[in-house]
Amino acid sequence: MNNELKEEREKVPFNVEELTDWLYGGADKVKEKRFLENYFYNGVISKADPSYLSHVEKYEEAIRKVGIILQRLKQLTNKGQYGEELYPKILGGTFIKHLIKEGNPISVHFDMFLPAIKSMGTTEQQAEWIPRAAKCEILGTYAQTELGHGTYVRGIETTATYDPSTKEFLLNSPTITSYKWWPGNLAHTVNYALIMAQLYTNHTCQGVHAFIVQLRDENTHMPLSGINIGEIGTKLGYNTVNNGFLAFNNVRIARKNMLMKNSEVTENGDYVVHKNPLLTYGTMTMTRIGIINEVQIFLAKAVVIAIRYSLVRRQSPIDPDKPEPKIIEHITQQYKIFPAMSKAIVMNISAKFMWKFYYDIMKQIDNGDLSRLSELHSLSCCLKAICTNDATKDVEICRLSCGGHGYLNSAGFTDIYKMVTPAQTYEGENTVLFLQTARFLLKSWEKALKGLKLPSTVAYLKYHINSNQKQKESFDSSPRGILRSMQSTAAAKIATAYRHVEEKKKTFSEEESRNFCGLELVKISELHGRVFLLQTAVNELEKVSKKSSPQLSYVFKDILELFTVDTAKNYMGDMIQHISINSVASERLQGRLVAVLKRIRQYVIGVADAFDFSDEILDSTIGAYDGNVYKRLIEATSNSPLNHQPVNESFEKYLKPFMKSNL
């Protein structure tokens, strides 16, 4: 153990375990988390550094790990310790991504294939497909994105044409842009797929619907007739997720393979709607919430690495008459890392809120109440965009805070960055998602103008309905004061955007008008999302600070202070247009920022340890618990194949002839 880290831990004034219990939802959940991590980690992870494996070797290694995990899952369930609900928990969430750094080759089976059947399949269809899929007797993916269309689902070109003479659907990929492109696990892993395709029946297109299609033989795994399938190629990351392409040439499937909970095609070809067709997109809403939860964990890993390294690394004297300080003593270093730490914690809170929100609304929908579906959709869109944008940016800042050592693969940032950055575009490109949220906000403002009841997440609009006519309110730098200022700013900008769109509609279509105002619409969605994060942080952190031990209570107050002050600084340019902020208030805000950074510095190792990442899961030479950074960096060099021999064969083949050529 590095002595300096040991001393830092001895100075932590609160019980680290108490904070860990809160982060993970209770002591029982922490105990289970640790048991499962230890149970699945041992024997699954090889000591070989995967960064030196070939593309094919990485995929095969990932499949090997999945096989071992499945065996161990079966052993646990056979003992009666857990039921089949453990399968998606281990194989479909973030847990397995700690074990397979380049991505889980069967993740989509649990994250989207099974949930889609549950949400869109009839009772009979669920009984037919779910038991086999839950036991992994068949593996499936969710194939929606195409070469020519991604976020714009209505533009999908794959067709499913009903043939009443055979009671079958005929699937085709009519153009090169209709190739399914990007679905995870598709290329060589799964043998089934849930295909989103344009439904044609009685010569009429009824829009995008879901169909279960077998792609490969269940015994030989060979592609079936009419199926053109393969891998799209290597990527920045996620290379063992096995993203694929898929095209159909007159592939026939039974009528019952169309998921028919929300709508169906009868045997004679009649199209019948049972429920709101928008429910078809429920799986993507759930997936976006899952992404919010995932990126907060990856951001937390980056923060832990940066904090531990910064408490060990010494460089750049602050006082020329004193030894080099730990780099964390530099206020600039604190400002790089600590706000990211506060964001990870607030994202943790928000993800928990969103899961509860999602399941509450799903219950309402099951009872026939769809009134809050658009609110759920809009909130999941803007939060997915904000959280993935923030996580990507802050993971990179954490890497930069570790200097050159952070650039090494062994530091751990590479794998983390490769996990968070694609989340900005998959399951909806972030700008497009902001624009979808904006549509909900414009409709909500229109309701507010009419005095109608507003959904809870936009209820703040009614308090600011006349904000553009009022005298500017004075800025208050307390957490609740910052929340009020951001609410006023968001409401004022929503009102302005609404007015601009309405003015454009006098000359242009609604779609053209929104396009003209696109920059404003993205901004109002971002501000709305920030308001939600602030509201959630204020409510939860104030509440938990009252329930916690006195020592930990101060930590929660500091985290809230830092998160709100940092948000205010980042959006000062927007707030100053609608809030009265003088130079004194601005200086006071800066003072609060510096003060809270200094307070957090004293116990920050305790917060880092509370995230409870084992060394195996963190997998970082510079962020390990013992703090032996330099020893681990040197030891990691032995993993390089180039170091396994003193002279590489390229010397004799190429370098020596060149050097001896007397040029």
Q: At what angle do helices 282-310 and 373-401 cross, to 10 degrees?
A: 20
CA dihedral 44, 46, 51, 52 (to 10 degrees): -140
The neighbour count for residue 249, using CB atoms within 10 Å, is 11
Q: How far is CA 558 from CA 44, 343, 401, in A?
A: 39, 13, 22
Instruction: State which amino acid sits at residue 412.
Output: G
184 annotated as belonging to a binding site for a ligand: yes
- The answer to whether 157 touches 105, Cβ cutoff 8 Å, is no
Check if 18 is active-site: no
Nearest to 258 by CA among 197, 341, 217, 186: 197
Residues 618 and 425: their CA atoms lie apart, in Å, by: 25
Alpha carbon of residue 79 to chain centroid: 33
Residues 529 and 80: their CA atoms lie apart, in Å, by 43
- Length of the chain, in residues: 663
Contacts of 299 (CB under 8 A, 6+ apart): 340, 343, 344, 347, 390, 391, 394, 395, 420
For the stretch 34-55, what's the b/e string if a residue is b when 16 or more beta carbons lie within 10 angstroms of its beta carbon?
eebbebbeeebbeeeebeebee
Which residue out of 61, 102, 146, 427 is catalytically annotated? 427
Residues with Cβ within 8 Å of residue 213, at least 6 apart in sequence: 171, 192, 193, 194, 195, 248, 251, 253, 257
Place of tokens 């200022």: 485
* DSSP characters over 348-376: HHHHHHHHHHHHHHHHHHHTT--TTHHHH
Residue 145 annotated in ligand binding: yes
Cα 108 to Cα 92: distance, rounded to the nearest angstrom: 7
- Residue 547 CB contacts under 8 Å (≥ 6 apart), including other chains: none
Written as six digits, the tokens of 254 are 């039974």
> Is 208:120 a contact under the CB 8 Å cutoff?
no
Distances (CA, A) of 477 to 64, 481, 584, 588: 54, 6, 11, 8
Distance CA 344, CA 341 (A): 5
Token reading at 616: 């195996």
- The residues assigned a catalytic role are 427
Query: Which residues carry a binding-site annotation?
Result: 145, 184
Binding site residue list for FAD:
145, 184
